[in-house]
Amino acid sequence: MILAIAGLIISCGGDAEKKEDKKDKVKIGAKKTPKASNTNAVNIAIAGNDLMQYDKKELSVKAGEEVTLTLRHTGKIDKKIMGHNFVLLKQGTSIPDFAAKAAAAGESKDWIPEGDKVIAYTKMIGGGETTSITFAAPAVGTYDFICSFPGHSGLMKGTFTVK
């Protein structure tokens, strides 16, 4: 019995040494190098729901930044009924006039009218979907953003400030 206990103690101690040896081993090529991060880039997330609301009314970035904006539709309704997008308008653009043109553009054009009033926009998405866009921040100033789905721009809007 004493021999069995001694054998058990010795074998347990041997495993500890083996585990420590494994920690000290170095694999060639296993060195992890941190990815270079772009200090001139920013990620922004915004969500829209089935109540025609964005979760943020104000977004802010710095001039010259590369902006990656992710839009998430947290609702459940299909995009043909409750679609959402993010449209960043140029300064001085009338939201009601743009919304009327967007409605006239129709579903085939993803509710984005032709012209030069848009800085950036996402595709139209439905409940449970997510989309992203990357664009250069415009010049310093305050810009409007909206959802261009018909009837949504009255509630789904906010300001995009570039400092």
For residue 153, what pLDDT is reported? 97
How much is the pLDDT for 61?
A: 98
* pLDDT score of 16: 47
Per-domain boundaries in the chain: 41-162
Model pLDDT, residue 39: 75
The overall pTM is greater than 0.75:
yes
Q: Which of 128, 41, 56, 64 is nearest to 86 (CA)?
A: 56
Q: What superfamily would CATH give domain 41-162?
A: Cupredoxins -  blue copper proteins (2.60.40.420)
Please report the pLDDT score of residue 102 as a whole number. Answer: 97
Per-residue model confidence as pLDDT tens for the chain (163 residues): 565 555 555 555 554 444 445 455 555 555 555 555 567 999 999 999 999 999 999 999 999 999 999 999 999 999 999 999 999 999 999 999 999 999 999 999 999 999 999 999 999 999 999 999 999 999 999 999 999 999 999 999 999 999 9
